[in-house]
Amino acid sequence: AQSVTQLDSHVSVSEGTPVLLRCNYSSSYSPSLFWYVQHPNKGLQLLLKYTSAATLVKGINGFEAEFKKSETSFHLTKPSAHMSDAAEYFCVVSGAWELTGGGNKLTFGTGTQLKVEL
Partner 1 sequence: IAGITQAPTSQILAAGRRMTLRCTQDMRHNAMYWYRQDLGLGLRLIHYSNTAGTTGKGEVPDGYSVSRANTDDFPLTLASAVPSQTSVYFCASKPSGTTDTQYFGPGTRLTVL
The C-alpha angle with vertex 83 and arms to 35 and 93, in degrees rounded to 5, equals: 5
Cα separation, 67 vs 88, in Å, equals 21
Q: Is 63 in the site for partner 1 (CB under 8 A)?
A: no
Exactly one of 1, 40, 70, 102 binds partner 1 (CB under 8 A); that residue is 102
Q: Is 99 in the site for partner 1 (CB under 8 A)?
A: yes
Site map (CB under 8 A) of partner 1, residues 1-40, x = contact: ---x----x----------------------x-x-x----
Q: Torsions phi, psi of 76, nearest 5?
A: -100, 135
